[in-house]
Amino acid sequence: MANAAVASVSSPGLWPRIWNSKNRGYFVAFLFVLPALINFFIFRYLPILAALRASFWQYSLLGGYGNFNGFTHYVNMWNDPLFWKSMTVTVLFAVMKVPLQVMLSLILAVFLAREDRLTGIVRGVVFIPVVTSVVVVSILWSMMYHSQLGLINSFLSLFGIPPQTFLTNPNRALPAVTAMMIWKEVGFSMIILMAGLKGIPVIYREAAIVDGATPLQIFFRITLPLLKRVIMFVVVTQTIFSFQVFVPIYTMTRGGPLDSTKVIVYYIYQYGFRFQDMGYASAMSIVTLLLLLIISAIQMRVFRSDVEY
């Protein structure tokens, strides 16, 4: 009995073992991320659940919930040619935008990674479009694309090229919007890749130079493999942003001409807010979300790297 009493007094209780310095650090870190978690739960996850519920009902913003439709919206979506065309246009937009933007931003990051006054000015100039309002940028580029008075056609006329139609030509409208979005967002990708380049230890490059490696060999065999995870982040985020494009389409083309720029988000907007069929719009949103999850998982699988530094 005496030994048990001594052991019970000398041994620490359960609470001091739980509330140690390590767990206190975890708790403080959790408090810092708690506002972001609350924001995601209220403004991200709850709307997703609400959209999932609405996709099974006849629902509009003005009339509220009506009849239960089950999977009717999803069946109608499968037989909707405009849905498939909008999805095709969106995928085509992402295929044109993401690879070109990543390659251009990687080139800019490599050449502007030096720390001097001139490169700092160039980095600032490249990054200015990122912080500029997309509505303002879309209006300005619409004026530049004008077939008669636009800046681009004025420049082409210097070389004897006749005026070209951009936003009113079904074959040129989507590439024109893509070029504008690459110009606007290339600075964001450049900053991310530049941070990744600066995170690569200099010792690898120095060892390769000592071994007689050329700059191209250093870039393709050392820099790119070590930058693979950063490139994966840029590719995944830019793909998601490409599937969410809406403002340039609404401002510049309204989905035209001949639905050549009607991306899936603009089509969802039309059904939800113009046709007042929020149930069908919610169903398309859920399918788009699932497609994005699948594409992101494939991209992370492709760009997965076990190289650490």
In the predicted model, what is the mean pLDDT of residues 8-34?
Answer: 74
Predicted local confidence at residue 10, as pLDDT:
47
Average the pLDDT over each of 82-86, 210-214, 249-253 and give the range with the smallest value. 210-214
| Confidence tier at 308 by pLDDT (50, 70, 90) | low
Reported residue count of the chain is 309
Could you tell me if 138 and 180 are in contact, meaning their C-beta atoms sit under 8 angstroms apart? yes
Residue 114: predicted pLDDT: 78
Residues 6+ apart with CB under 8 A from 90: 242, 243, 245, 263, 264, 265
Q: How far is C-alpha 202 from the chain's CA centre?
A: 30
pLDDT confidence tier of residue 206, bands split at 50, 70 and 90 = confident
Q: Distance between CA atoms of 166 and 158, rounded to whole angstroms?
A: 18
In which band, very low, low, confident or very high, does the pLDDT at 119 lie, cut at 50, 70 and 90? confident
Percent of the chain whose pLDDT exceeds 70: 93
Contact 237, 193 (CB under 8 A): no
Question: Who has greater pLDDT, 18 or 199?
Answer: 199
114: which 2 tokens?
């030096």
Half-sphere CA count of 144, side-chain side, radius 13 A: 12
The pLDDT of residue 15 is 66
Average pLDDT over residues 181-209: 91
The tokens describing 188, both together, are: 């964001």
* pLDDT of 297: 93
**Average pLDDT of span 11-29:** 73
Domains of the chain and any CATH numbers: 17-68 (no CATH), 75-302 (1.10.3720.10)
Instruction: Say how far apart CA 150 and CA 141 lie, in whole Å.
Output: 9
CA distance 80 to 194: 43
Per-residue pLDDT at 26: 84
